[in-house]
Amino acid sequence: MTAPVRGPGSGKIMDSIKVVGGAELNGVIPISGAKNATLPLMIASLLTDETLTLTNVPRLRDVAQLTQILSNHGVDYSVNGKRNGQDELAGQTLNLTAREIVDTTAPYELVSKMRASFWVIGPLVARMHEARVSLPGGCAIGTRPVDFFIDGLAALGADIDIEAGYVVVRAPGGLKGARVEFPKVSVGATHTIMMAATLAEGETEIVNAAREPEVVDLAKCLKAMGAEIEGEGTSTIRIQGRQRLHGARHAVVPDRIETGTYAMAVAMTGGNVLLQGAQSDLLESALDTLRQAGVEITQSAEGIRVYRNGNGIQPVDVTTEPFPGFPTDLQAQFMALMTRAGGSSRITETIFENRFMHVQELARLGASIQVDGRTATVEGVSTLRGAPVMATDLRASVSLVIAGLAAEGETTVNRVYHLDRGFERLEDKLTRCGARIERITN
Ligand code: UD1
């Protein structure tokens, strides 16, 4: 049985979320498959003419959007229907088949909606020896250049031109394995060069590779497709190119950012929640930080249990870093938590410039935060008060929901469009645990 790829809820751009603060969270939250793994895994389907089946795929706007982009290149897709008795939050099974690539151009109208879609450039040039991909858009969190991608593909022997906002890559004789050293850790560039290298001639060595669990998950899937890769999860990855890859079946790794986000929500409200299916080895640094803040965390076969009783929240300093450090994608949520800590904490963002857009909105709820360059100093306050706030990017939006869960009265988070890109049925998952939260469809 097949069904269209489902995006989240009603998902209108101007929807808002209303939160009435003060309720503890208690119960079970199922953790979805990782958005940031699903996107490159879907893109990997371009590397073979056989079917790639992905299970545990989250229902998210970005996933639905990427199916549009891939089908433009000629990828057929189908989604398995739900079995009787299956939880409505169970992941989807997505079948992707790129039997024939009909178009090697990824147009501006599609790529500008989601930065990660730029990554199709690697598989397209590897398989078709040419690609024309628009420069990307995505979350407004500072300038996010593509120089590492261009330099990496050039090292693999591609000719590259920038023409009218498009990156045009040609490798008439196919890509050739080479040493690619990134000046700075980049998740997207690591995904892209690793995928491209699977079909290059000879060996590619990626130096200063990203070690994120999503890179490991992609490597695992590529290996199931017949690729030869070693060193994933370390900073040097070696790939022996193959003439072709084949179909495979792969289960998407649990979402460590969703896990960390709900752990911070429970830390904020107090209570006791099982994050079902979550894996602590994917986010040790964030969990250690929460333990220092006074939260009890235990791993069991079922998932991660997060518990905070009546004790207050302790202030903790954090600096964002590439994996295994504290993730930038949890920085906004952690800042929301620190607004209620019993003292002062310093939060330093080293991955993206301009990733403090949530500060002004948290201030509207009564938070006390001073930003000096890359560091925000948060003075914990005893009370936050509900107010209308505006979501500005994916992780910032959810930080406002976390703050709203602990604020007195009603908080309306406007423009939740970004939330739907990355959090599957957030309001359902929180309501199941006792939160007073609802979506207002405008
Ligand atoms: C991915 C994640 C995003 C996360 C980020 C960092 C997905 C879909 N997105 O984004 O949620 O916040 O990793 O963990 O997985 N850079 C360059 N030149 C380049 C590429 C990157 O200078 O060519 C810089 C960026 O501006 C940034 C840093 O490298 O300062 C890291 O960015 P990168 O890891 O590439 O982020 P994304 O892969 O876009």
The boundaries of the domain holding residue 27 are: 16-32+254-440
Query: Does residue 328 sit in the same domain as residue 365?
Result: yes
Share of the chain above pLDDT 90, in %: 83
Cα 301 to middle of ligand 1, angstroms: 32
pLDDT at 415: 83
pLDDT at 9: 45
Report the number of distinct structural domains present in the chain.
2
pLDDT at 14: 77
Cα distances (angstroms) measured from residue 363 to each of 44, 291, 409, 412: 42, 26, 16, 14
Residue 435 is assigned to a structural domain of this protein:
yes
152 C-beta closer than 6 A to ligand 1: no
Please provide residue 394's backbone torsions phi and psi, each rounded to the nearest 5 degrees: -55, -55
Position 354 pLDDT exceeds 70: yes
Banded model confidence at residue 417, pLDDT cuts 50, 70, 90 = confident
**Per-residue pLDDT averaged across 183-207, rounded?**
98
The single-letter DSSP state of residue 90 is S
Residue 148 is assigned to a structural domain of this protein:
yes
Cα 85 to middle of ligand 1, angstroms: 39
Among 251, 275, 296, where does a domain finish? 251
Query: Does residue 179 sit in the same domain as residue 223?
Result: yes
Q: What is the 3-state secondary structure (H, E, C) of 173-241?
A: CCCECCEEECCCCCHHHHHHHHHHHCCCECEEEEECCCCCHHHHHHHHHHHHCCCEEECECECEEEEEC
pLDDT at 42: 98
pLDDT at 131: 98
**Per-residue pLDDT averaged across 295-300, rounded?**
96
Between 150-154, 369-373, 387-391, 401-405, the lowest mean confidence (pLDDT) is in: 387-391
Query: Does residue 230 sit in the same domain as residue 287?
Result: no
Residue 6 is assigned to a structural domain of this protein:
no
Residue 330 is assigned to a structural domain of this protein:
yes
Q: Which atom of ligand 1 is nearest to the CA of 188?
A: 38
Among 236, 251, 266, where does a domain finish? 251
Position 29 pLDDT exceeds 50: yes
**Per-residue pLDDT averaged across 275-281, rounded?**
97
Q: How many CB atoms lie within 10 A of CB 382?
A: 8
Query: Does residue 28 sit in the same domain as residue 81?
Result: no
Query: Does residue 27 sit in the same domain as residue 41?
Result: no
Q: Which atom of ligand 1 is nearest to the CA of 323?
A: 14
Exactly one of 70, 139, 185, 239 is catalytic; which is it? Answer: 139
pLDDT tens-place string over residues 65-115: 999 999 999 999 999 866 666 666 678 999 999 999 999 999 999 898 888
Please provide residue 361's backbone torsions phi and psi, each rounded to the nearest 5 degrees: -75, -40
pLDDT at 387: 96
Position 3 pLDDT exceeds 50: no
Among 219, 251, 283, where does a domain finish? 251
Which of 231, 160, 169, 227 lies closest to 197, judged by CA?
Answer: 227
Residue 220 is assigned to a structural domain of this protein:
yes
- Per the prediction, the chain carries an average pLDDT of 93
Query: What is the CATH classification number for the domain harbouring 426?
Result: 3.65.10.10
Share of the chain above pLDDT 70, in %: 93
Query: Does residue 183 sit in the same domain as residue 318?
Result: no
104 C-beta closer than 6 A to ligand 1: no
Between 19-33, 107-121, 131-145, 426-440, the lowest mean confidence (pLDDT) is in: 131-145
Query: Does residue 216 sit in the same domain as residue 269?
Result: no
pLDDT at 442: 74
Residue 5 is assigned to a structural domain of this protein:
no
pLDDT tens-place string over residues 161-183: 999 889 999 999 999 999 999 99
Residue 408 is assigned to a structural domain of this protein:
yes
352 C-beta closer than 6 A to ligand 1: yes
Between 37-41, 87-91, 261-265, 419-423, the lowest mean confidence (pLDDT) is in: 87-91
**Per-residue pLDDT averaged across 50-73, rounded?**
95
Position 278 pLDDT exceeds 70: yes
Query: Does residue 315 sit in the same domain as residue 429?
Result: yes
Residue 15, helix vs strand vs coil: coil
329 C-beta closer than 6 A to ligand 1: yes
**Per-residue pLDDT averaged across 259-265, rounded?**
98
**Does residue 393 or residue 160 have the better pLDDT?**
160
Cα 389 to middle of ligand 1, angstroms: 27
Query: Does residue 115 sit in the same domain as residue 235?
Result: yes
pLDDT at 83: 63
**Per DSSP, which regions of 91-143 are E strands?**
92-97, 105-106, 130-134
Measuring from atom 29 of ligand 1, which residue has the nearest CA? 186
Query: Does residue 275 sit in the same domain as residue 232?
Result: no
Residue 3 is assigned to a structural domain of this protein:
no
Query: Does residue 291 sit in the same domain as residue 357?
Result: yes
**Per-residue pLDDT averaged across 227-240, rounded?**
98
| 352 and 141 Cβ atoms separated by less than 8 Å | yes
Banded model confidence at residue 138, pLDDT cuts 50, 70, 90 = very low
Cα 288 to middle of ligand 1, angstroms: 24
Query: Does residue 161 sit in the same domain as residue 49?
Result: yes
Q: Distance between CA 210 and CA 323 in Å, rounded?
A: 7
Q: Distance between CA 311 and CA 295 in Å, rounded?
A: 9
The single-letter DSSP state of residue 144 is -
